[in-house]
Amino acid sequence: MKGKWMHSVHKRLATHLSCTSSPDVTKEVYRCRPWDLYHSTKRNKIPGMFPHFVLPSCLLPNGYISSQTYNGKPILLYRDSESGTVKAFLNKCRHRGAQLVGAHTTVKLKSRAIVCPYHAWTYDIRDGSLKRIPGEAEAFSCVKKEDHGLIPLSCKEVAGGIWVYGDAMKEVEDFSEHKQVHIEIEELLDLSAESFSMGRMVGTKEWEIDANWQISVETFLESYHVPSLHKNTLNIVTQANNKTVPMVTDHLDGCDIRMTVPLQNFDATLYEENAKSFVEQFLSSTTTTYFLFPNVSITLTKRFAFFMSIAPRHDDVSKSKISAWAITYNDHEEQMNLCQRDLEGVVNGVEEDWDCVEKIFKNLSKDQISIYGSYEGNNIKFLNDVKNIATHFVNT
C-alpha cells in the first residue's frame, strides 16, 4: 500500500507530542573533535563519489537542453524530444575546449545540432557524435570524427530529479538499484501531485558559504534547534511539545534517512477509517524531509517539493555551494502566491542556518569538543557513515 509508513509515523508523532521523551533517538551522548571532521580532505571527497542532484526533472521538458554543473565542471543535459530519455555530456568542445552552451541556460532546441561558438565544430546532441568540422579536408583530414564525440556522463532520473554520477561511486554503491528512498519519494510525489512532471518552479537559489559541507548538512538532520534558531521563521509553522519540535526518524537503505515533523494543524487523534482522507490530512499536516546520503535533501512541504544539494566548492574544505529548487506538484497558477509566501519562509529559515554554520566554522578551534545529545541521533549517524565511507573507499 502506498504511504504505509505514514500510519506508524503518525502514531509516533502523536506520542512525541504528548510526552517529553523521544523514543526514536539515541540515548547516548557523543563527543567529537569537529576540527578533524570538517578539515578532513578525505571526507571532502565523498560527495564526488555519489550521484549528484543536478536538476528537478520537470525543468527539462522534451527537446530541451540545459547547461548545469557537476563536480565543478560544466555539463549539458538533453531530453530527447521523442523518447523522453535524458543524456548528459561535458559542456566542452573536443577541438580546443570551448564551452558549447552558456552557463545556466535551458532552451528548446530548434535542431539537434550543437554548434561550437568558437570554430563551429558541430555535434548531434542525441548521442554527442561529432558531425561536422569546418575545413575538415584541408586541416583535419587525419582526425577521426567518430573518436571525437562529446564526453558522455552517466545519468539517471529518480525521486523527481536528474542525477549525474561518475565512475568513483561504482565502488560505493550500485545506482542501478531503485532504492527504498527513491520509491517512497516517487510515491509521495504521486500522492501529492496530479502530475509532478508538470510541476512549475516556485523559485531557485544558490548560496556559496564559508563552511564545510558536512556542517551545512547537519542543520537539516535535527529539529532540536528549530524553536531557538528559527524562532520567527520555521518554528511558527511547526508544532512543539514542551521540549522541542518533535521529529520522527527512520533509516532507509543504510545511510538514507526519512524525517517527519508535525505542523500546527497536526491532529494526534486523526482516525484512520478512511485511508484516502488519512493520507491527505497527514500530508497537509506534516513536513517530511528525505536525506539522501551524503548531501541531498528532498522536503515534501504542503505546497511544493524543495530539493537541496550541498557540495564542497573547488575541493576546498572550508567552502560549500548549496543549490535549491522549489517545485509545485502541478501546473496550477492559482496556488503560486501561496507557494511564494511559503517559500520565502523556508528561504529565510535556511539562511538563518547558513549564517549560523559560517560562524561556527569560522570560530572552530583544533581542541574544540562538540557534544551531541539524544535529539541529534541523525547527526551522529551521518558523521559515522561519512567516517566509514572515508575509511573504506577513499584513498589518500
Tell me which residues touch ligand FES (CB under 6 A): 93, 95-96, 98, 116, 118-121
Quick one: which segment of 2-10, 133-141, 213-221, 324-332 binds Fe ion (CB under 5 A)?
213-221
Q: Does 22 bind Fe ion (CB under 5 A)?
A: no
- From the CB of residue 342, how many other CB atoms can be counted at a distance below 10 Å? 19
Cα 339 → chain centroid:
19
Q: Using alpha carbons, select from 291, 304, 139, 310 the residue that is nearest to residue 209.
A: 310
Q: Which is nearer to ligand FES, 124 or 186 (CB)?
A: 124
By a kind-dependent CB cut-off of 5 to 8 A, residue 119 interacts, out of Fe ion, ligand FES, none, with ligand FES
By a kind-dependent CB cut-off of 5 to 8 A, residue 219 interacts, out of ligand FES, Fe ion, none, with Fe ion
CB of 333 to ligand FES, least distance (A): 41
* H or E segment and range at residue 92: none
Q: Which is nearer to ligand FES, 119 or 319 (CB)?
A: 119
CB of 115 to ligand FES, least distance (A): 8
CB of 44 to Fe ion, least distance (A): 22
Q: Which is nearer to ligand FES, 74 or 203 (CB)?
A: 74
Hunting for cell 561504482 — which residue is that?
Answer: 170
Q: Which is nearer to ligand FES, 96 or 170 (CB)?
A: 96
CB of 229 to Fe ion, least distance (A): 6
Q: Which is nearer to ligand FES, 42 or 95 (CB)?
A: 95
Please spell the DSSP secondary structure of 267-279, one letter per residue: -TT---SSHHHHH
Q: Does 379 bind Fe ion (CB under 5 A)?
A: no
CB of 392 to ligand FES, least distance (A): 41
Sign of CA dihedral 192, 194, 195, 200: negative
Instruction: Please return the burial class of 82, using the count of CB atoms within 10 Å of its CB with bins 0-12, 13-18 and 19+.
Output: exposed
Q: How far apart are CA 226 and CA 249, in angstroms?
A: 16
Q: Which of 22, 68, 216, 219 binds Fe ion (CB under 5 A)?
A: 219
Amino acid, single-letter form, for residue 25: V
Residue 122 half-sphere exposure, CB side, CA atoms within 13 Å?
A: 10
- From the CB of residue 323, how many other CB atoms can be counted at a distance below 10 Å? 20
CB of 69 to ligand FES, least distance (A): 19
Q: Using alpha carbons, select from 46, 50, 53 the residue that is nearest to residue 88.
A: 53
Please spell the DSSP secondary structure of 70-88, one letter per residue: ETTEEEEEEE-TTT--EEE
How many of the chain's residues bind Fe ion (CB under 5 A)?
2
Q: Which of 173, 184, 222, 353 binds Fe ion (CB under 5 A)?
A: 353
Give residues in contact with Fe ion (CB under 5 A).
219, 353
